Structure 1
Amino acid sequence: MSKTRSLRRQLLVMTFIVLLFISSLALWGAHIYANRTTKISYDRLLYGAALQMAENITLVNGKVIIDLPISAFETLSLSSSDRAFYSIMNTQYQVLTGYKDLPDIPFPQLIRESQQNQPIKPLYYESNYRGERVRFIILSKRLLEADKSKTVFVIVGQTMEARAKAAKEFNQIALQFVSVFFIITMLLLLFVIWQVLRPLQSIKQAITERSSLDLSALDIHVPSEIAPLVGSINYFMAQLDNTLQRLERFTAESAHQIRTPLAGLISQAQNALDEKDAALRKQQLENILESSQLLTQTVNQLLNRATLTHRFQSHPFSLLSLDELIKDTCRELVVWALEKHVEIAYVGDAKTNILGDEFALKQMLHNIIENAVKYSPEHGTVEVELMTQSTASNQALSNQATLQIRDQGVGVCDEDKLHIFEYFYRSADNVAAGSGIGLSIAKEVAEHHKAAFHLKDNQPTGLIVEIVFLCVEESKQ
């Protein structure tokens, strides 16, 4: 037996994977948001400090006057772990005040934009300076005095330790929040999974606690999604109960039917041993042979019925040529019928296909035709005819094939027609040898193929067995 997979474990694994993916996505988004937020916040500090410096630069008598405010440095000193650098330069790259070795200043871009006589937008860039990573901002200011003008550039930089620390703290808070969310969600989902799987556990418990002989329907309340499962289980148990009842009844009847001829055989054999008259002993031996043949026929039919019962549940239908199947069966029985001085005549000319089980249909045809031959008078004829017709059903054409097997025997009275399909039933007026299960098997096969099974009176005497099949096209195989 292969190892089964736990549904609860599969749900937990899938839930864990989904939550892990969502949590990772949330942490990745939080990381991006933290870096962006801290970058914007500290860039604003840089911009504020550079703007204060630019506002205190003037042009007096053609000379640039710089009065750096303390407030600008106080703004940068809000982060105690960072260091600040600044430089004020003119368009000739001359440092008017501040650090003279600030790195990677984009002078070509500054000169190009200053020549357009438009204010230069704040320009941010990062570079390594004195062993640390520094974020810089560059502002330009145009100084005017009478007919003179000059442009100066304010460059302010700040190390990035504080902003990295702030982003790390934000990420840690996000990690803590996501971890708590993950744990709480997993616990809630564990409860939900347990709650959802409870009906399955109740079904298991209801089946486990009942007796092995109790095949009654389960009466438990389950969600609508699981109701079809309970319905399928109830249907299966009903089918199993019906099969077991039929098997029990059939076994009892079969045992009786076999036990009776066996007892007769023993009695006749004992009488034959004790009989002194040779002629009478010969008659007794002939009776033994006849009883043995009847017993063999009964056992064969019982075995065939057991085989058919198994095939009904295990063999799918296939596309068959019904007319060819009937002809083959007639050919197989024609010699046997002639030995009994009865002719089998196939008078049908229809050709049609059906979905069915070839073995089961042959057993059905054998039983019906053998039964017709058995009850036919000497030099009689058993007619086998296949006809097709189309009938309108639900505003659509449904092709049907009708098989008739007609004999010229004594027929069956209306009272016996009510019981003729019961196992081992034999009429009180029936003098022919037989087991009484042939027509019962034939009707079961017809019903398994969704075919209608009818008994009609033949004229002037005899019985007509009529079976109506539904035909199919080859394209519907």
Structure 2
Amino acid sequence: MPERRSLGSRVAIGVIALLLVGGVVVAIASFAYGRQAARSAYDRLLLGAANDIAETITIIAGQPVTDLPLSAFQLLALAADDRIAYAVRGPDGALLTGQDTVTPANPPRDGGAENIWFSDAAMGGEPARFITVTRRFAERDFSGTVTVTVGQTLRARNDMALGLTRDALIATAIGGLALMGLALAVIRRAMRPLDHLAEDLLARDPRDLTPMDSAVPAEVAVMIDAMNRFMRRLDRQIGSMKNLISDTAHQLRTPVAAIRAQAELIAEEPDSRKRDLMLGRLSRRTRSLGTLLDQMLARALVIHRTDSAQRLPVDLRDVALEVVESRDHELLSPQTEVELRIGPDPAMVLGDEMSLVEAAKNMFNNALRHGQAPVRIGVSTEGDKVSLWVEDAGNGPPPELLDRMGQRFERNAASRGQSAGLGLSIVRAVAEAFEGELTFERRETGFRVALTLDQIEETA
């Protein structure tokens, strides 16, 4: 058996992966922010030192002279592990003071202050950051620009950037662990209805097919509703099987015993005239038993198909036409006039064609047996409803029987024992399976039985 992972573990793995991806993004952003913050802080120190040196430049005897201020080196000394370099040059590039290896970089072309710019270069084989500040003089005995260049290695900057990144990652890790713990607790709590559902299913009696409690979260309710619909279908199937077994045992015992008794009496009857009469009664009982068996099996088949067969668009006009074209009425009641009334417009419903045809045949045959000529079968549309109806010219059953019409083995008094009482029961089962309705109506033209279903749009 393949290893099965729980839904909780899958969600937990997804949350952990999301937190890890978020941690990587935060680490990258923290490092970028740390570098930017460190560069901005130490660039200000370089700027302050360069400005301090530039401000001490004076013109003496027509030559620029600088007195290096202590404050400039105190600023640069804040990065104790870094090396520094500086150079002060005159208008012709001549070195006034500092290291000859330090040369001012060309000013940038893309803007910035005209007299201040930064550059990156090497200092003794180590990366460094440089700033160049210019100071213009226009005096009687001297005119020109003096440049001050100050450089510093990047050790303190890198340490500051790493420190900021480390602190951000520590805070992120602590927060991530806290969020992970909270997420696992929330996931466990969210999965609790599934545990209760599993416990409920395990504790149920195998014969208990009642609906399960639907007071659960919406995500779980979808599964509960599907399970309840499945159990309802299964309950109907089992109920149909139980009814078929009990009906068979109950309804067949008497006619089978009567047929056996009559067969024995016929075998012992010497009078041929009486034997012929007894054979006639035996033939009628045999036909009645065959009708009972046909309807019992038809009812069981219809209930099974309404739960298992795929529902497809069906035109009720085709159903009515098939009932008439099967010409069963010519055998059941050859003297009865039959009329078909269907219109030109489609009457589409969603259902199983075989079950609908079986229901229509039972309504039609019921009218042929117990109604008065003429018998009409047709289809009519009213709003979003479509009705498949059968009507005869009679008054229908007595009012006290109307409420019981459609129940199993309910015989109309007019049947005189010639019906099994299952015909309209089959129609009612089809109506309930397809969310429809079985109705009985006395009209001016006669008694009408109608199977009414929801109409759907015609498919191409």
TM class by smaller structure: 0.7 to 0.9
Q: Does 1:348 align with 2:337?
A: no
Q: Does 1:253 align with 2:241?
A: no
1:136 is aligned to 130
Alpha carbons of structure 1 residues 403 and 457: separation in structure 2 relative to 1, 3 Å: same
CA distance in 1, matches of 2:405, 2:16: 65
Q: 2:390 aligns with which of 404, 417, 421?
A: 404
| Residue 389 (structure 1) shift | 6.2
Note the 1:93-172 alignment, pairs <5 A: 93-102=93-102, 105-107=104-106, 109=107, 120-146=114-140, 148-172=142-166
| Residue 157 (structure 1) shift | 0.8
Q: 1:367 aligns with which of 359, 362, 365?
A: 362
SS at match of 2:128: strand
Deviates more, 1:34-43 or 1:430-439: 430-439
2:170 is aligned to 176
| Residue 223 (structure 1) shift | 5.0
Q: Does 1:262 align with 2:256?
A: yes
| Contact 1:364/1:442, CA 8 A, preserved across alignment | yes
Deviates more, 1:158-167 or 1:312-321: 312-321
User: What one-letter code is carried by the residue in structure 1 that aligns with 2:65?
Assistant: I
CA distance in 1, matches of 2:47, 2:100: 20
| Residue 68 (structure 1) shift | 1.4
Q: 1:439 aligns with which of 416, 420, 424?
A: 424
Q: 1:321 aligns with which of 306, 315, 321?
A: 315
| Residue 434 (structure 1) shift | 2.4
Alpha carbons of structure 1 residues 285 and 159: separation in structure 2 relative to 1, 3 Å: same
| Residue 177 (structure 1) shift | 1.9
Alpha carbons of structure 1 residues 215 and 255: separation in structure 2 relative to 1, 3 Å: same
1:422 is aligned to 407
| Residue 322 (structure 1) shift | 2.8
Deviates more, 1:44-53 or 1:414-423: 414-423
1:206 is aligned to 200
Alpha carbons of structure 1 residues 318 and 361: separation in structure 2 relative to 1, 3 Å: same
Q: Compute the RMSD of aligned alpha carbons.
A: 3.6
1:394 is aligned to none
CA distance in 2, matches of 1:382, 1:119: 108
2:450 is aligned to 467
Q: What percent of counterpart residues are identical?
A: 27
SS at match of 1:343: coil
CA distance in 2, matches of 1:216, 1:49: 86
Alpha carbons of structure 1 residues 87 and 165: separation in structure 2 relative to 1, 3 Å: same
1:393 is aligned to none
User: What one-letter code is carried by the residue in structure 2 that aligns with 1:439?
Assistant: L
SS at match of 2:338: strand
| Residue 346 (structure 1) shift | 1.5
Structure 2 length as normaliser, TM-score? Answer: 0.85
Deviates more, 1:184-193 or 1:80-89: 80-89
| Contact 1:419/1:425, CA 8 A, preserved across alignment | yes
Alpha carbons of structure 1 residues 306 and 452: separation in structure 2 relative to 1, 3 Å: closer
| Contact 2:438/2:451, CA 8 A, preserved across alignment | yes
Q: Does 1:453 align with 2:439?
A: yes
| Contact 1:401/1:470, CA 8 A, preserved across alignment | yes
CA distance in 2, matches of 1:262, 1:465: 35
| Contact 1:298/1:435, CA 8 A, preserved across alignment | yes
| Residue 88 (structure 1) shift | 1.1
What do residues 111-143 of structure 1 show as CA deviations (whole Å, max 9, x unaligned)?
Answer: x99xxxx98332111012321111111011224
Note the 1:8-407 alignment, pairs <5 A: 8-102=8-102, 105-107=104-106, 109=107, 120-146=114-140, 148-216=142-210, 218=212, 222=216, 244=238, 248-249=242-243, 251-275=245-269, 287-334=281-328, 337-338=330-331, 340-348=333-341, 350-352=343-345, 353-355=347-349, 356-375=351-370, 381-386=373-378, 388=380, 390=382, 398=384, 401=387, 403-406=389-392
Alpha carbons of structure 1 residues 407 and 257: separation in structure 2 relative to 1, 3 Å: farther
User: What one-letter code is carried by the residue in structure 1 that aligns with 2:401?
Assistant: D
| Residue 174 (structure 1) shift | 1.9
Alpha carbons of structure 1 residues 340 and 217: separation in structure 2 relative to 1, 3 Å: closer
Deviates more, 1:288-297 or 1:147-156: 288-297
**Which ranges of structure 2 fall in alignment gaps of 5 or more residues?**
none
CA distance in 1, matches of 2:413, 2:391: 24
| Contact 1:348/1:385, CA 8 A, preserved across alignment | yes
CA distance in 2, matches of 1:216, 1:401: 32
Q: How many residues align?
A: 456
Alpha carbons of structure 1 residues 457 and 150: separation in structure 2 relative to 1, 3 Å: closer
| Contact 1:375/1:432, CA 8 A, preserved across alignment | no
CA distance in 2, matches of 1:329, 1:3: 55
SS at match of 2:59: strand
CA distance in 2, matches of 1:473, 1:224: 29
**Which ranges of structure 1 fall in alignment gaps of 5 or more residues?**
391-396
| Contact 1:119/1:141, CA 8 A, preserved across alignment | no
Deviates more, 1:322-331 or 1:208-217: 208-217
